[in-house]
C-alpha cells in the first residue's frame, strides 16, 4: 500500500550524479523529515537512493543509469502521489513533465548549462541532445509553482534570463555540512603529515577540471608564489590535470611541487582543509561555491574570486580578487596569508563566524517555510 505523502523529494540517479547535487539531495532527505515531524516526506530517485558521496561513473554504470533514468523513471513518476513534489536540481526539472497534477518546486543551483547553450557563457560546448534536455528543463522551471535559488546571484539570473517573477523565488543558501569542523590540536599533526608530508606551506584547491573552476588560474598563481617561496606545495582534489593544465606544468618550474588527488570523502576533506595553510579558489562562475564555505568551516583561510555568487558566499571572511585572471593578485594574497600569522589567524576566526549564517537548522527552516506556504 502506497503511503500518502505530503512531500516527495526527487533526486538524481545514484550512479550518475556529482558531488554538489548528491550533497544537497542527501541533506534534504536525511534532515527535512526530522525538521518537519508533522509532515510525511519521502524521497525517490532513479536507480535507488545515492549511498556514496562520489558514486561510480563506469561505462557500465552510465549505460544502466541511462536506462533507469530515461526509460523506467518517467513511468515510475506517473505513479507517484504527493501534495508537493520537490525536484532537487535544475538539471532534473524535466521530471516535472511526468509528475501527476500537484504542486511542484525545484531548487536551482545555477544556470551554467542554459547560459552555455544560449551563448551567455563560453565555457564548454554542449552536445545537441544535451541542449534539448536543457531547453526542456528551462520550460519546466518556468512552469514551477515555486523555485528555491541557492544564492541571490542565481535568483537574479532566473529573473533576468528566464523572466521568472521575483514572487516565485525564495533564496535559501546551501548548508555547511556539520561534519566540517576545525581539527583538534591532537589531530593536526597527523593530518598535516598524511596529506602534505614535509611541505612548509600547503596551498590547496578543491574542484573539478572544468573550465569555469579555473584550475589553470590557480596553477598559474601558485607558480608565481612558488618562485618566491620554493618550499610551498600545491595539492588539488578531484582528479588529474586536463590537457591545458598538463601543458602548463610541463613548461613550469613548479611542476614537481604540484600534486593531484582523487575525490575525497567528507571525513578526508575535513582533514585536508583543516591541515592546509590556504585554499585558493579563482573560479570564473559559481551558482553557489561549496569549497570556500567548507574550508572556512574547517578553519582554513580562503583566497577567492568574487565572480557570480562567491561574493555573497565568502562575505568579508576571505581575501578576495575581483578578476579571477589576475594571477599576481592571487599570489600576493596567498603570500600575505603564509607570511603573516596574525592575518591567517584573523581569517580563520572570521571564517568560523561567517559559516554560522549557513548552519543546517537555518536552511531547513527556510525550506520548511516554502513547503508550508504551498501546501
CATH class of segment(s) 185-357: alpha beta
Task: Please name the fold of domain 5-175+359-374.
Answer: Rossmann fold (3.40.50)
Residue 53: per-residue pLDDT: 59
Residue 74, all three cell numbers? 518517467
Q: 54 near 265, Cβ under 8 Å?
A: yes
Residue 222: per-residue pLDDT: 98
Topology match between the domains 5-175+359-374 and 185-357: yes
Q: Which residues lie below 8 Å from residue 50, measured CB to CB, with a gap of 6+?
A: 11, 12, 14, 17, 22, 25, 26
Domain ranges of the chain: 5-175+359-374, 185-357
Q: 168 near 147, Cβ under 8 Å?
A: yes
Task: Give the whole-angstrom CA distance, residue 287 versus residue 303.
Answer: 18
Taking only the tens of pLDDT, the chain with its 375 residues reads 355 799 999 999 876 777 889 999 999 999 999 999 999 999 999 987 655 555 555 555 667 788 888 899 999 999 999 999 999 999 999 999 999 889 999 999 999 999 999 988 888 778 888 899 999 999 999 999 999 999 999 999 999 999 999 999 999 999 999 999 999 999 999 999 999 999 999 999 999 999 999 999 999 999 999 999 999 999 999 989 999 999 999 999 999 999 999 999 999 999 999 999 999 999 999 999 999 999 999 999 999 999 999 999 999 999 999 999 999 999 999 999 999 999 999 999 999 999 999 999 999 999 999 999 999
Amino acid at each position: 500500500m502506497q503511503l500518502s505523502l505530503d512531500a516527495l523529494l526527487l533526486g538524481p540517479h545514484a550512479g550518475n550524479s556529482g558531488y554538489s547535487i548528491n550533497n544537497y539531495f542527501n541533506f534534504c532527505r536525511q534532515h527535512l523529515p526530522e525538521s518537519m515531524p508533522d509532515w510525511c516526506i519521502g524521497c525517490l530517485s532513479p536507480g535507488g537512493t545515492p549511498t556514496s558521496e562520489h558514486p561510480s561513473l563506469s561505462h557500465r554504470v552510465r549505460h544502466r543509469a541511462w536506462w533507469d533514468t530515461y526509460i523506467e523513471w518517467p513511468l515510475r513518476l506517473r505513479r507517484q502521489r504527493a501534495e508537493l513534489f520537490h525536484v532537487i536540481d535544475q538539471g532534473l526539472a524535466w521530471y516535472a513533465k511526468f509528475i501527476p497534477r500537484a504542486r511542484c518546486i525545484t531548487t536551482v543551483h545555477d544556470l551554467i548549462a542554459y547560459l552555455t547553450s544560449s551563448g551567455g557563457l563560453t565555457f564548454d560546448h554542449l552536445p545537441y541532445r544535451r541542449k534539448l534536455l536543457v531547453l526542456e528543463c528551462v520550460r519546466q522551471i518556468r512552469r514551477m509553482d515555486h523555485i528555491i535559488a541557492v544564492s541571490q546571484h542565481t535568483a537574479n539570473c532566473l529573473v533576468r534570463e528566464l523572466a521568472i517573477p521575483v514572487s516565485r523565488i525564495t533564496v535559501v543558501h546551501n548548508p555547511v555540512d556539520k561534519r566540517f569542523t576545525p581539527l583538534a590540536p591532537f589531530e593536526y599533526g597527523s593530518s598535516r603529515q598524511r596529506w602534505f608530508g614535509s611541505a612548509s606551506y600547503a596551498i590547496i584547491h578543491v574542484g573539478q577540471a572544468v573550465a569555469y573552476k579555473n584550475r589553470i588560474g590557480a596553477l598559474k598563481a601558485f607558480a608565481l608564489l612558488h618562485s618566491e617561496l620554493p618550499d610551498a606545495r600545491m595539492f588539488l582534489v578531484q582528479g588529474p590535470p586536463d590537457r591545458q593544465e598538463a601543458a602548463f606544468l610541463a613548461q613550469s618550474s613548479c611542476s614537481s611541487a604540484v600534486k593531484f588527488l582523487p575525490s575525497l570523502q567528507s571525513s578526508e576533506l575535513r582533514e585536508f582543509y583543516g591541515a592546509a595553510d590556504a585554499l585558493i579558489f579563482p573560479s570564473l562562475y559559481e551558482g553557489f561555491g561549496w569549497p570556500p564555505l567548507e574550508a572556512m568551516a574547517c578553519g582554513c583561510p580562503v583566497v577567492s574570486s568574487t565572480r557570480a555568487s562567491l561574493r555573497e558566499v565568502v562575505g568579508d571572511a576571505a581575501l578576495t580578487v575581483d578578476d579571477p585572471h589576475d594571477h599576481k593578485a592571487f599570489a600576493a594574497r596567498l603570500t600575505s596569508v603564509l607570511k603573516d600569522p596574525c592575518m591567517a589567524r584573523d581569517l580563520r576566526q572570521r571564517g568560523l563566524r561567517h559559516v554560522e549564517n549557513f548552519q543546517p537548522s537555518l536552511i531547513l527552516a527556510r525550506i520548511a517555510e516554502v513547503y508550508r506556504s504551498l501546501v
